[in-house]
Structure 1
Amino acid sequence: MTLAEILASLFPDGHSVVVENGLVTGGGSLDGHPLHVVGIDGTTPLGVDEALTLSAAVLEAIRAGDRAPILVAIDSDSQRMSRRDELLGLNECLAHLAKSLLLANHSGHPTIGLIYGHSAAGAFIATALATRVLAALPGAHPSVMDLPSVARVTKLPLDKLEDMAKSTPVFAPGLDNMVATGAVHVVLDPGKPLDGQIRNLIGNLPQGDHRDRLGRERGGRPAAQDVAARVAEQARGA
């Protein structure tokens, strides 16, 4: 689905969402209740300027004080890998965006990610994975790192990583693998109105982060939940 189709299905009575230079801001009414929308469209790379603009939109929604949910719509490239962005502190700006979304969630604004296109690397982490839950539409293609990049970082042969990815979802990009690891909470049905599906998702949001549990239940990350629990136990005992 395109962003226009998503918005029409989500807000059948109209909305104020606009897209400017690939950045999505605005909102609409979901069953008479406000829903803020921010995001990135058209496989736009997420650089310093984009991260700060989206962070400002999230912080503005927090200042509104309505505690309305925030939907983060995502179809991006990776972070913008330019000399200018790196010199201006791209890593800090991406972290600021992620922390803005975490602050919104802790301030009573449930955050829901919706990936409908591509996203990768720092852009994926600072948007989709910084929300309380992440939904997806069929055809989405998220990845933290593609296999050729993994090969360069780990110095492992690409063919070995490709074999590992067939049985180990954490090594592989793509929607099915993100579902298996628990990163994607649910895949929505584009054949049904999205307003009802998003409304139900908001109404049944889990308290806390359950991605480790989902990854264990789905077989994509069988050890992560136990490891995280042991780390937390040791931290409390320190």
Structure 2
Amino acid sequence: MKLASLLPALFPAGHAINRENDVLTGTATTAAGVVTVIGTANKLEVGVDHALALSACVLASTRAHPQRPIVMLVDTAGQRLARRDELLGINGCFAHLARSLEVARRRGAPLLSLVYGESVSGGFLSFGLMADRIFALPEAQVRVMDLRAMARVTKQPLEKLQALSESSPVFAPGVDNYVRMGAVEAVWEGDLAAALDAALASAVPADLRAERGLQRAGRLLARDVAAAVAAGEA
């Protein structure tokens, strides 16, 4: 869905969201009250300047309104692969953004993400994947790492990974696979404003991703392995 259609569908009561260099910052009105909105548009490759702008909005929100919900709208092709960003410490800027969101969480702000476009690698990991709850639109594309990049990193043949992706959602891109793994809680269709209002009205759940992954047959071992580690058995 295009951003121009998404914003009025999500926030029919109005919003004051600024878009600068495809970085979204601002506020919107919902049935639950005013929420802070951050995000990306146009498949933005997130760089140093973008990460700092997003984190500045998060910190300003948690400073002025510690318990105000933060809604993250995700459309990113990943992190910016540029020498300037590497020299300026893009990894540190991404860590700063992640820590800013953790500060907001600890001060009582619910964190919610909606993937409406692309969500790839570091551009997704540094803010959208930091949410308490992640939702997606049916046409969204979710993949933490492209299979070609995964082949280079793991030194495994691309053909082998493609074959694995046919049977294992861990290797496969797409919203449905991330729903199966429990990372995406649900896909929103129909009345988006009502879906958002319902998510904001419900209490932030415990981390149920591993549990959902087992129930949905997407991650069969994660819950039991995590429990064994927590119990000191592994």
> Would you call these one fold, judging by a TM-score over 0.5?
yes
User: 1:28-67, aligned counterparts within 5 Å?
Assistant: 28-31=28-31, 33-67=33-67
Which consecutive unaligned segments of at least 5 residues does structure 2 have? Answer: none
Output aligned runs, 1:184-195, within 5 Å.
184-189=184-189, 191-192=190-191, 194-195=192-193
1:4, CA displacement in angstroms?
2.0
Residue 29 (structure 1) shift: 1.2
Structure 1 residue 66 displacement after superposition: 5.0
Q: How far has the Cα of 1:25 moved from its partner?
A: 0.6
Cα distance in 1 for residues equivalent to 2:128 and 2:35:
17
Change (3 A) 1:66 1:98: closer
Q: Which amino acid aligns with 1:72?
A: M
Q: Which residue pairs with 2:68 in the alignment?
A: 68
The amino acid of 2:216's aligned partner reads R
Pick from 207, 215, 218: which aligns with 2:216?
218
Q: Scaled by the length of structure 2, what TM-score is found?
A: 0.95
- 1:6 is paired with a residue whose SS is helix
Provide Cα deviations, 1:48-75, integer angstroms capped at 9, x if missing partner.
Answer: 1111110010011101125111100011
1:197 is aligned to 195
The answer as to whether partners of 1:102 and 1:131 remain within 8 angstroms in 2 is no
TM-score scaled by structure 1? 0.94
What is the CA distance between 1:203 and its match in structure 2? 2.1
Please tell me whether the aligned partners of residues 124 and 142 of structure 1 are also in contact (alpha carbons under 8 angstroms): no
1:206 CA drift (Å):
3.8
Match of 2:170, SS state, is helix
Question: Is 108-117 or 223-232 further displaced after alignment?
Answer: 223-232
Cα distance in 2 for partners of 1:57, 1:160 equals: 43
Q: For structure 1, list consecutive stretches of 5 or more residues without a partner in the other structure.
A: none
Amino acid at match of 2:205: Q
- Residue in 2 aligned with 1:84? 84
Count the aligned residue pairs: 234
- The answer to which of 131-140 and 222-231 deviates more is 222-231
Q: CA deviation at 1:99?
A: 1.8
Q: How far is the alpha carbon of 1:102 from its aligned partner?
A: 2.0
